Chain A
Amino acid sequence: DAGITQSPRYKITETGRQVTLMCHQTWSHSYMFWYRQDLGHGLRLIYYSAAADITDKGEVSDGYVVSRSKTENFPLTLESATRSQTSVYFCASGLVSRNEQFFGPGTRLTVL
């Protein structure tokens, strides 16, 4: 019963490279989210998805791409990484019937 997992947990990359962060949940939750956490900003929503093949932009979506072909997976891609995308990225999921989002352990991304 893994719940929600993220991989990799740590990633170092270079400016201009494409990076994909993976998120997998075992609960069949319909909603999934990507947030980034930066000092002084709390968590900010990057993208969210209401179901497979339904995604929408959040507050800070520029430079990011998502897909959701299966309910359980919600990968986040940085098309051309920039230093400003150095951050901790959290994936979350939730059911329509529950007033709660469940968070993964996070991915710490460093862009050099």
Chain B
Amino acid sequence: AQSVTQLGSHVSVSEGALVLLRCNYSSSVPPYLFWYVQYPNQGLQLLLKYTTGATLVKGINGFEAEFKKSETSFHLTKPSAHMSDAAEYFCAVSDDATSGSRLTFGEGTQLTVNP
């Protein structure tokens, strides 16, 4: 069975500071990994995904994540936070790259950006 652990349900940073949101996963097969963002009162939007190939993945809005198999991690980073980054972020894992695969989500991390 797959599982995802997001360390820290709430993260607070200052505008311009580094954003680091942590995600560790458990999977019995090579995983496919995703980060989604949810703005208030909206659905989830894909930020980035790792399927195969390069382990450093770049996404929208300046975010990137690195797949580290040895650490079973897929942490999300952004060099400089912007006020508009305030949202809830979800890490998800699947054992299949197709969109028909079943996603297992972490509990989410609420990011607050302080002026």
CB within 8 Å of B: which residues of A? 4, 29-31, 35, 40-45, 48, 50, 58, 90, 92, 94-101, 103-106
Number of A-B contacts (CB under 8 A): 65
27 residue pairs bridging A and B, Cβ less than 8 Å apart: A29-B99, A35-B105, A40-B107, A42-B4, A42-B90, A42-B107, A43-B103, A45-B103, A45-B104, A48-B100, A48-B102, A50-B100, A90-B43, A94-B99, A98-B99, A99-B32, A99-B51, A99-B97, A99-B99, A100-B46, A101-B99, A101-B103, A103-B43, A103-B44, A104-B43, A105-B42, A106-B42
- Which B1-44 residues have a C-beta within 8 angstroms of A? 4, 9, 32, 36, 41-44
Q: Tell me the complex Cα distance, A28–B90, Å.
A: 26
Q: Give the residues in chain B near A90, CB-CB below 8 Å.
A: 43-44
Q: Give the residues in chain A near B99, CB-CB below 8 Å.
A: 29, 31, 94-101
B49 at interface by CB-CB < 8 Å: yes
Q: Tell me the complex Cα distance, A92–B107, Å.
A: 18
Q: Give the residues in chain A near B36, CB-CB below 8 Å.
A: 103
Distance (whole angstroms) from the CB of B22 to the closest CB of chain A: 15
Among B32, B44, B100, B102, contact of A45 (Cβ-Cβ < 8 Å): B102
Additional A-B contact list (4), CB under 8 Å, known A90-B44, A105-B42 = A92-B44, A97-B99, A99-B49, A103-B44
CB within 8 Å of A: which residues of B? 4, 9, 32, 36, 41-46, 49, 51, 90, 97-100, 102-108
Among B98, B102, B105, contact of A99 (Cβ-Cβ < 8 Å): B98
Q: Give the residues in chain A near B103, CB-CB below 8 Å.
A: 43, 45, 101
Q: Tell me the complex Cα distance, A98–B103, Å.
A: 14
